[in-house]
Structure 1
């Protein structure tokens, strides 16, 4: 699903404050420390808490392998001026519908700064620009309204609520489904070019964890 351009580990996305790159084995300690925090893990579908130290390197290997094969696109989120310092992760995964699903998380020291919104918008721009898709989907737990706001600020529209199996949480949990159509994305990009800007990030803080 993902093009040749993304299948080389030199691939990266740059934003005003961030550098999104392939994860590396050197990121293991940061992933263990940040993703393993209860406040982060409990908002996701697949991050266990506590995070077993022996699971980190196999996870990184699997993410790199999937990137290389074009099976998904999973990127480390890093500060642009410190690209070796992982502060979170973001990824897009294929679904049977043909619409990719995105998920993300940021370590708690980096919440409430608008960084998740910046990373999400960079990824959706890349997906719509490089892949022939009609829409992108995401979901959040209903107890995570700040992550919902990240998606809304990125143009996603809520499609409804449902019960979703969250393997790392051990059951079914209420979640909200979101979708961003290509036409909506194109309109938002056009409005941005003509002077439209979203609300400043400090007006509504973001809690930077989404189902992944």
Structure 2
């Protein structure tokens, strides 16, 4: 689904403060430390807590392999000034409907700085620019208002609520479905003099946007 441009590990996205790049084996320690935090893991479908140390490198390998094959696009979130310092991950997976599904997480020490919104908007721009898709979808647990706010600030509209299987959490949990149509994205881009109309705010941005998370182990 994803084009040749994204299939080389030199591919990256740059924003005002962030550098989104392919994950590397050197990121293993940062992923283990941050994704394994209870506050991060408990909002996701598939991050275990505690995070098994021997699961990190196979996860990174799988993300890199999927990127290279064009099966998904999983990117490490890093500060632009420190591109070797992973602070979270974001990515997109195709669905059977052909509509990409995005997911993301940040280490707790990086919440409340607008990084999740900035990264999400950069990825959304890339998906709509590179792919002939009608929409992008995401979901979030109902107990995760910060993740909901990230999606709303990026133009997503809530489509409804449902019970979703979160394997790492051990059952079904209430979640909210979100969708961003191409027409809405185009309008948001055209209304803003320099891009998105809604700048990142001070909310505590957390974790995850759903099943088949492209960046979750």
Using the size of structure 2 for normalisation, the TM-score is 0.94
- 1:57-104 CA distances to partner (integer Å, 9 max, x unpaired)? 000000000000000000000000000000000010000000000000
Distance 1:129 1:150 in 2: 20
Distance 1:183 1:207 in 2: 26
Poorly superposed stretches of 4+, deviation over 4 Å: none
The CA RMSD measured in Å over matched residues stands at 1.2
Write out aligned runs for 1:78-117 (5 A): 78-117=78-117
1:206 and 2:204 correspond: yes
Distance 2:193 2:134 in 1: 22
- 1:150-181 CA distances to partner (integer Å, 9 max, x unpaired)? 00000000000000001111110000000000
Q: Relative to structure 1, is the Cα distance of residues 195 and 107 closer, same or farther in structure 2, using a 3 angstrom cutoff? A: closer
Write out aligned runs for 1:60-75 (5 A): 60-75=60-75
Contact 1:149/1:206 (<8 A) preserved:
no
TM-aligned CA deviation for residue 199 of structure 1? 5.5
Contact 2:117/2:200 (<8 A) preserved:
no
Give the secondary-structure state (helix, strand or coil) at the position aligned to 2:43: coil
The residue that corresponds to 2:133 in the other structure is 133
Using the size of structure 1 for normalisation, the TM-score is 0.96
The residue that corresponds to 1:52 in the other structure is 52
TM-aligned CA deviation for residue 193 of structure 1? 2.5
Contact 1:94/1:100 (<8 A) preserved:
yes
Distance 1:208 1:74 in 2: 18
Give the secondary-structure state (helix, strand or coil) at the position aligned to 1:124: helix
Q: Relative to structure 1, is the Cα distance of residues 62 and 194 closer, same or farther in structure 2, using a 3 angstrom cutoff? A: closer
Q: Relative to structure 1, is the Cα distance of residues 195 and 17 closer, same or farther in structure 2, using a 3 angstrom cutoff? A: closer
1:7 and 2:26 correspond: no
Count of paired positions: 210
The residue that corresponds to 2:166 in the other structure is 166
TM-aligned CA deviation for residue 207 of structure 1? 2.3
The residue that corresponds to 2:146 in the other structure is 146
Distance 1:77 1:127 in 2: 17
Distance 2:195 2:124 in 1: 20
TM-aligned CA deviation for residue 194 of structure 1? 7.7
Distance 1:93 1:63 in 2: 11
Distance 1:157 1:60 in 2: 31
Give the secondary-structure state (helix, strand or coil) at the position aligned to 1:201: coil
Distance 2:204 2:188 in 1: 20
